[in-house]
Structure 1
Amino acid sequence: MPDTYGVVILGSGTTAFAAARQVAANGIKVLMIEQSHLGGTCVNWGCVPSKTLIDKAELYFAARRGSDWGLNLQAGEPDAKILMQLKKQAVETVRKDHYHHELENNPNIDVKHGHGRFISRREIQVGAEIIPFEKALIAVGGTPRIIPLPGLDQSRYLTSYSALHLNDFPESILMIGGGVIALEMGQMFARFGTQVIILERNDRLLGEFDLRLTAQFAEILRREGIQIMTEVEIERVEARPEGVCLYSTVKGAPVGLCAERLMLAVGTSPATDGIGLDKAGITVDAAGFIETDSGMQTNTVNIWAAGDCTGPPLIAPAGAREALVAVENMLNPDARRTIDHTFSPMAVFVDPEFATVGLTTDQARLKGIDVEEAYIDLEQVPKAHVMGRLEGGVLLCCEKPSGRIIGCQILAPRAADIIHEVTLAVRFGLTVSDLTTTVHVYPSLSDGVRMAARELCQRLNLPIV
């Protein structure tokens, strides 16, 4: 290994690899320091394993749903051992093909295994070895947030990590949280036969999405047998031989619930414990996330940070983009690259899917933007009738009077794919006329975006031909 690396990166996940690849492409030696598996959270404990099981749960559920269309498919009991083995194979394949393979073929990237921590603003210690560096990127990601609850430590609780490594699906589970992870995992467990109760502190699920969409999805979950409780204040947890009991108030009334397992799905904490941020002089916010400027530089001038350890949006592709911005600014200080996550789409991989990009109507108005919105129920889209999937909708927002598209939210099958059309529109300042006059495939769910754009054109008296 070289005496000094041009760039040292803490982590080896999606964010870290994006940075290392870019540094190496500039002919500079880069070192990644990883204390666990290559690929980080997304590959090993997050996106890849969870979406593998979510996809199989959707297939399993679709077999039963087909009976409404005269498709008399018989769905037997799911085999958890086979499913978990397939999930493991998916993780190992992605790790090998997308990470190990690249390392073998890129002489400018080195990896050192072990726990890395700053001991100064220009040195990192790994075990007994001290590694000097010119510039560093912190890309250590996040970990499941654990909330302090009396009795929790004795309850064998699950997180989004450990829940993906069970040998069997539990008979019942109490899911604390009503956000992305809770809904993705809760629906997946329910479709594999687990009795699921979702416990949300606020008055509704997925507070970042429009109520017209979330209310429909809550009803979908209830029809699938999932119980949803909102305005829940949890008081304590009690381990029992047969499982766990949770004591709380729901809308002010005392409620006790028991299940085989309890899962925490209450967000993400930065994985920065023990990496010596104080030794490097790096500041963090009240939640412990590393503070950076819009160019991903920390308050220590030769250290940058990117990905989940810096806070929202907490999605892997956004972290990768942050890493590229950071590297460009490291290697070319005059570049002054910045990132604006208004242009970063995100999705919730439930069924049907949620997706969003840009500003909501309320966010736009807070910024002083005069805004108009159109909402199209999915049942107005012909493809929804072809599929027999009528729940959902498209919410499109534009600036008045120009019609410039500023945001969109979708609840529909494959919403995570559909949203990219609007992402390009938001990023490049396209108008509702641009979308309306673009020919869309028919029948397609994407046509719902065109229909919403056409409605906005009519309201604002903008061209539709």
Structure 2
Amino acid sequence: MSSKYDFIILGSGTTAFAAACKASSLGARVLMVEQSKLGGTCVNWGCVPSKTLIHKAKEFYAAVRSAPFGINLRAEEPDYALLMQAKIKAVEDLRREHYQQVLDADERIEVLRGHGRFLSPRELQVGAEVLVHDKFLIATGGTPRSLRLPGLVEAGYLNSYSALNLPAFPASLLIIGGGVVAVEMGQMFARFGTRVTIVERGDRLLKEFDARLVALFAEILHDEGVELIYNFEATEVRREGEQVCLHGRTSQGEGDCCLRAERILLAVGTAPASTDIGLEETGVARDEGGFISVDEEMRTNVAGIWAAGDVTGPPLIAPSGAREGEVAAENMLNPAAHRRIDHRTTPMAVFVDPELAMVGISSAQARAAGKAVVETFLPLDRVAKAHVMGGRRGGFVLCAERGSGRILGAQALAPRAADLIHEATLAVRFGLSVHDLAETVHVYPTIADGLRLAAVENLRHQP
């Protein structure tokens, strides 16, 4: 059976599907092995359902705070059942239109249902069938990481998947973690009326982002009723009737304390979805976090086996996984192609309100690499559109090479930052300078004009 395919993919999510479509466009035939729903995590349990609810929470919150602007909307209690229907519809529509319909129209791509497990580097067992091939792509994605915290399992906890399928909004929620999932989920639940506490063992949220932007966003969360607790070392979880109690200590040495809520949500990162797929039978190397090790061409250390997407580790975002899948597919079909992935120009965003987005490297990273830089911080209130929209807390950070002015990185906390970051992405990718950006005419008034203003400011400090 497997001889009629040019290669076999383990998984059918964003990464796998991108690889399959790329292979098909090059005239190849591929087989995807999938044990669950077509489309993988992003469509079914991650990006699509979470961003659907986040968007609805933003609209609901806009109605709540509209009165000071003269818009007399009344925000009634959110209808949880209708919200869940909207989430399910978005998932089902995308799975059908972006995945199933594509498969139905493409005879070069096939899907075999079942759990795939390697028996050797050349054999993949799916049910009673053994697929023999000399080229495999592992694209199984990731799963929410858990903690070995005493009492956690017994008390019961949510992760980023199950939190989107509750029968109702909880009255109170404790979130362990201070990363992307924690702040996205935290703000969403808070806007729907849940009392939210985010507990972080470090000294701030979102360590990838500029500390000034994060501090501004933390103020926004606080003003929306989200409690933020830093430097907290969780030690135990206990159930006390209808509530859970998270025991822990703070860095101030105040002794054991207990934080109580109706539910507890773990948001402590992503683990590779690589258990029980027979990796130990292949000899494929993994790093300390369990992620599959690959080179820039998405090759593993075992000839004939490639890997791409979240199963290989950061940046752990669907678009980067899709690009990795395409790179892997081209190299699998043409070993002389030597396609490479370079995530230095891969943007990322956090879908909070206002949004956070970034691309490239920070000033600290640039200096660590021996570069002399000029960094600009432009407060959002310098941007006319922010005054029009009524939200002026935020800003832009622009890092450029001293002398040449070449843009090395950019970050933003602003409305629509996830959209406007692509302008900075193109600038970083193609080596544009702050001079190029400053001289580019922007529509007025727009939030994106903040990038131009940041470039103008950066030019003033260039030698």
Q: What TM-score comes out, normalization by structure 1 length?
A: 0.98
For residues 282 and 233 of structure 2, the distance between their equivalents in structure 1, rounded to whole angstroms, comes to 39
Which one-letter code corresponds to 1:212 in the other structure? R
**Alignment match, 1:65:** 65
For residues 29 and 62 of structure 2, the distance between their equivalents in structure 1, rounded to whole angstroms, comes to 49
**Alignment match, 1:183:** 183
**Alignment match, 1:34:** 34
**Alignment match, 1:5:** 5
Q: Is the 8 A contact 2:2 2:133 kept in 1?
A: no
Deviation track 1:232-283 (CA, whole Å, cap 9, x = no partner) reads 1000000222121110112232220111000000000000000111111101
Matches within 5 A, 1:306-455: 306-455=308-457
Deviation track 1:316-361 (CA, whole Å, cap 9, x = no partner) reads 0000011111111111111111111110000000000000000000
**Alignment match, 2:44:** 44
**Alignment match, 1:105:** 105
Secondary structure at the aligned position of 2:60 is classed as helix
How far 1:455 moved relative to its partner?
1.1
- Residue-pair matches, total: 461
How far 1:3 moved relative to its partner?
4.0
Larger mean Cα displacement after TM superposition, 22-31 or 54-63: 22-31
Instruction: Return structure 1 stretches of 4+ with deviation > 6 angstroms.
Output: none
**Alignment match, 2:174:** 174
How far 1:162 moved relative to its partner?
0.3
For residues 5 and 130 of structure 2, the distance between their equivalents in structure 1, rounded to whole angstroms, comes to 12
**Alignment match, 2:202:** 202
Deviation track 1:54-109 (CA, whole Å, cap 9, x = no partner) reads 00000000001111211121101001111011100100000000110011000011
For residues 131 and 146 of structure 1, the distance between their equivalents in structure 2, rounded to whole angstroms, comes to 33
For residues 10 and 240 of structure 1, the distance between their equivalents in structure 2, rounded to whole angstroms, comes to 43
Q: Is the 8 A contact 2:11 2:32 kept in 1?
A: yes
The yes-or-no answer on 1:20 pairing with 2:25 is: no
For residues 374 and 86 of structure 1, the distance between their equivalents in structure 2, rounded to whole angstroms, comes to 41
How far 1:134 moved relative to its partner?
2.4
**Alignment match, 2:301:** 299
Q: Is the 8 A contact 1:4 1:131 kept in 2?
A: no
**Alignment match, 2:263:** 261
Q: Is the 8 A contact 1:35 1:113 kept in 2?
A: yes
For residues 4 and 107 of structure 1, the distance between their equivalents in structure 2, rounded to whole angstroms, comes to 12
Secondary structure at the aligned position of 1:143 is classed as strand
RMSD: 0.9
Matches within 5 A, 1:91-240: 91-240=91-240
**Alignment match, 2:282:** 280
Q: Is the 8 A contact 1:5 1:132 kept in 2?
A: no
Q: Is the 8 A contact 2:141 2:311 kept in 1?
A: yes
Deviation track 1:285-336 (CA, whole Å, cap 9, x = no partner) reads 0110000011110001111100000000000000001111111111111111
Which one-letter code corresponds to 1:261 in the other structure? R
Secondary structure at the aligned position of 2:156 is classed as coil
How far 1:382 moved relative to its partner?
0.7
Deviation track 1:156-191 (CA, whole Å, cap 9, x = no partner) reads 200000001111000000000010000000000000
Secondary structure at the aligned position of 1:460 is classed as coil
For residues 459 and 368 of structure 1, the distance between their equivalents in structure 2, rounded to whole angstroms, comes to 19
Secondary structure at the aligned position of 1:31 is classed as strand
Q: Is the 8 A contact 1:4 1:133 kept in 2?
A: no
Q: Is the 8 A contact 2:6 2:333 kept in 1?
A: no
Q: Is the 8 A contact 2:2 2:132 kept in 1?
A: no
Percent identity over paired residues: 59
For residues 299 and 99 of structure 2, the distance between their equivalents in structure 1, rounded to whole angstroms, comes to 26
For residues 28 and 214 of structure 1, the distance between their equivalents in structure 2, rounded to whole angstroms, comes to 46
How far 1:4 moved relative to its partner?
4.4
Segments of 5+ residues of structure 2 without an aligned counterpart are none
Which one-letter code corresponds to 2:6 in the other structure? G
Q: Is the 8 A contact 2:232 2:248 kept in 1?
A: yes
Q: Is the 8 A contact 1:173 1:259 kept in 2?
A: yes
CA change 1:4–1:124 in 2 (3 A) is: farther
Which one-letter code corresponds to 1:398 in the other structure? A
**Alignment match, 2:78:** 78
Secondary structure at the aligned position of 1:134 is classed as coil
Which one-letter code corresponds to 2:227 in the other structure? Q
Secondary structure at the aligned position of 2:7 is classed as strand
CA change 1:277–1:4 in 2 (3 A) is: farther
Which one-letter code corresponds to 1:401 in the other structure? G
For residues 395 and 169 of structure 1, the distance between their equivalents in structure 2, rounded to whole angstroms, comes to 36
Q: What TM-score comes out, normalization by structure 2 length?
A: 0.98
For residues 63 and 400 of structure 2, the distance between their equivalents in structure 1, rounded to whole angstroms, comes to 40
How far 1:2 moved relative to its partner?
5.1
Secondary structure at the aligned position of 1:256 is classed as strand
Segments of 5+ residues of structure 1 without an aligned counterpart are none
